[in-house]
Amino acid sequence: MQMGKIKSAIITAIVVLATAALFLFGVVSCELPGGVNRYNSILSNVHLGSELTGDAYATLLPEGVITAEEYDFTVADEDDKTGKADEYRETYVPSGSGAYYVDRDTLGSYTDDGTADTDAEVESALAALAEEVEKDAAKLAERFASRNYTSYSVSAADGCAIRVNVPTNFTYAAYSGNDNSSLTDSLSEVSTAINYLTLGGELTLRNNEYGIRDNVSAVQSAEGSTVTRNILKPSLSVSDVISSASYYAAGGSYAVRINLTSAGRDEISRVTAIIADTEQVGDQYIRFYVGETPVINLTCDSQITEGSFFIQVSDEETARNYASLLNSAANGGDLSLIYSYDEVVYGSAVSGVNSAMFLAIAVLVIFVALAAFAIARYRRLGLVFSLIALLFCSAVIAVIYLVGTTLTTLGVFTALLTLAVFAGTNFWSYEAIRKESEAGRTLQASVKLGYKKTLTGILELHIVLLVISVMLALIGVGEVAACGMVLLIGILASYLLHWFTRFMWYVTMSPARDKYKFCGFSREAFEEDD
């Protein structure tokens, strides 16, 4: 257990400086010299859960449904301009709570005779509309679930509207106004996700009319001045051709992977051979439509013969949005109604600032309490533990940021749990060493036996927690998966740094004259270690 004083001092200095640097870069934000730029710490760039920063929401209304505010405004406007407000009133029926109004023609589509004139017909049509909206809300929930948001909510409102809440995943720097570009990007990403994931209508694959000349029976639709048509045989639906769509990333590139059925492989091979052979400029593509909205294009400059293909896109968010939308629409998740919304509204968390401040104070208090206990119980060994505990916290924060995990309130408590595991396992080993020392063994022997006796228990604890974390991260969704990642990161750091703590104990204790006093251990007869 002997090490030269100089070597010990050098190693200790390196670890202290590295820990201090990682902590400062990880936790401390500050204004840079000149007051022009600001350094935002790693922690301030970690994405936070919506309970801390708020979320964005949109109210989706089917065709023929308007808000009570729009209805009242139109009534007043008609009264002022034409004096026909009463006629306008007769064309709309209030929803259950009166928050929305539904056009009678829309309700007529849910009745046998195509009208909704009687109270019984209106009641029956509103119930049928509410049923359709409920079904679409469930399909939308699946789409947003596949986006792996840490939290979200999709719910039907008043039988004729759908409320969608999506986490903004702001960083603290963005939320506090210290990173306005990140704030703008986050809101833009959320708005884009809501825009694409709420598209209604059937998924179709199309090309200009010149692309597939032999599909004469294909259904046509006007797209501006260009006529497009379905490329598939009339006997095939998209679900017969596409089995699934998924997000794909590799080497900094992002794509949507389209997986084909056996019948789809044959059909896409036939179609792409025709498209690749066309001489018509601009026709070498397959365009994916949801309803009448073009979503994504596949360039077909050669025949596709494989069971899957990739459509490259510009960024990760776009790939995830397209994959969720197309996978849903191809597998019976297409919305029966077409929805629209006025805007995506950002709603800040009522207690976000206070909650974040409380969590920060709680973490600080717990850390200080652990350090104080360690120093009081184990003297200078406690200082060594406190240093490595600070390294543990800084490393966990850095890795959470690097892997892109969203930190929720539950995630913070999970991180604290891993800190408790790190502290508990170290104290367990220390106490085992203390007992061996008090039994009369040399400090060198005590250290070996203490760590040996606690090795199995510590290893088993970390393995159990590691398995749980992997299961949560892989099987769980949303906030559960995010907590699983935090637990995984913390447990790995805890186990690795547990043994690094032993190494640093060895490094810092070697030069000490009274090693028992260094550790806070007592022994009447001091025996110099070999």
For residues 74-89, give the mean pLDDT. 74
Residues 364 and 465 in one domain: yes
| Domain interval for residue 304 | 203-334
Confidence at residue 437, expressed as pLDDT on a 0 to 100 scale: 81
Most confident of 1-5, 370-374, 408-412: 370-374
Angstrom distance (rounded) from CA 134 to CA 60: 12
* Total number of domains constituting the chain: 3
Instruction: Return the SS3 of 41.
Output: coil
> Which range is least confidently modeled, 147-156, 172-181, 247-256, 380-389?
172-181
Range 47-53 average pLDDT? 79
In the DSSP assignment, the letter for residue 169 is -
Whether 484 maps to a domain, the answer reads yes
Q: Which three-class secondary structure state does DSSP give residue 155?
A: strand
Residue 491 sits in the same domain as residue 514: yes
Q: What tens digit of pLDDT does each residue of 352-374 get?
A: 556 667 777 888 899 999 999 99
Q: In the listed set 275, 305, 334, which residue is the last one of a domain according to the structure?
A: 334
Domain shared by 395 and 508, yes or no:
yes
Residue 11: both structure tokens together: 């190693």
Q: Is 175 a domain residue?
A: no
Given a cut of 80, whether residue 521 has pLDDT beyond it is no
pLDDT number for residue 530 = 41
List, in order, residues 6 or more apart from 483 with CB less than 8 Å away.
408, 410, 411, 414, 472, 476
Average pLDDT of the segment spanning 60-82:
83
Residue 389: what pLDDT?
94
Residue 289 has pLDDT above 80, yes or no: yes
In total, the chain counts a number of residues equal to: 530
Each residue of 456-503: pLDDT tens digit? 999 999 999 999 999 998 887 778 888 999 999 999 999 999 999 988
What the block records as the tokens of 114 is: 């195509």
Please check whether residue 407 lies inside any domain of the structure: yes
At which of 138, 164, 190 does a domain end?
A: 164
Q: Do 477 and 357 have their domain in common? A: yes
Does residue 185 form part of some domain? no
Domain co-membership, 312 together with 220: yes
Assess whether 368 and 501 both reside in one domain: yes
- Give ∠ CA 498-500-506 in degrees, rounded to 5: 110
Is 195 within a domain?
A: no
Q: Domain of 477: which CATH number?
A: 1.20.1640.10
pLDDT for 282: 60
pLDDT class of 35 with cuts at 50, 70, 90: low
Residues 207 and 290 in one domain: yes
197 within some domain = no
For residue 428, pLDDT over 80 is answered with: yes
pLDDT band, very low/low/confident/very high, at 522 (cuts 50, 70, 90): low
Q: Of the spans 117-126, 150-159, 488-497, which averages the highest pLDDT? A: 488-497
Are 499 and 360 within one domain?
yes
Residues 96 and 113 in one domain: yes
Greatest mean pLDDT among 32-36, 195-199, 343-347 lies in 195-199
Lowest pLDDT segment from 56-65, 257-266, 344-353: 344-353
pLDDT category at 220 given cuts 50, 70, 90 is: very low
pLDDT score of 281: 54
Task: Indicate the range of 44-48, 101-105, 322-326, 452-456 predicted with least confidence.
Answer: 44-48
Least confident segment among 163-167, 310-314, 518-522: 518-522
Alpha carbon separation from 201 to 162, 166, 293, 390 (Å, rounded): 16, 22, 9, 54
Identify whether residues 359 and 314 lie together within a single domain: no
Neighbours of 463 (CB within 10 A): 12
Higher-confidence residue of 222 and 21: namely: 21
Among 304, 334, 364, residue at a domain's last position: 334
Question: For all residues of the chain together, what is the average pLDDT?
Answer: 84
> Considering the chain, what percentage of its residues have pLDDT values greater than 90?
35
Q: Residue 190 falls within a domain, yes or no?
A: no
pLDDT at 241 over 80: yes
Asked if 234 and 330 sit in the same domain, the reply is yes
User: Do 95 and 160 meet the contact criterion of CB atoms below 8 Å apart?
Assistant: yes
Domain co-membership, 416 together with 509: yes
Looking up residue 237, the CATH number of its domain turns out to be: 3.30.1360
User: Of the candidates 165, 145, 144, which has an alpha carbon nearest to the alpha carbon of residue 153?
Assistant: 165
The answer to whether residue 431 sits within a structural domain is yes
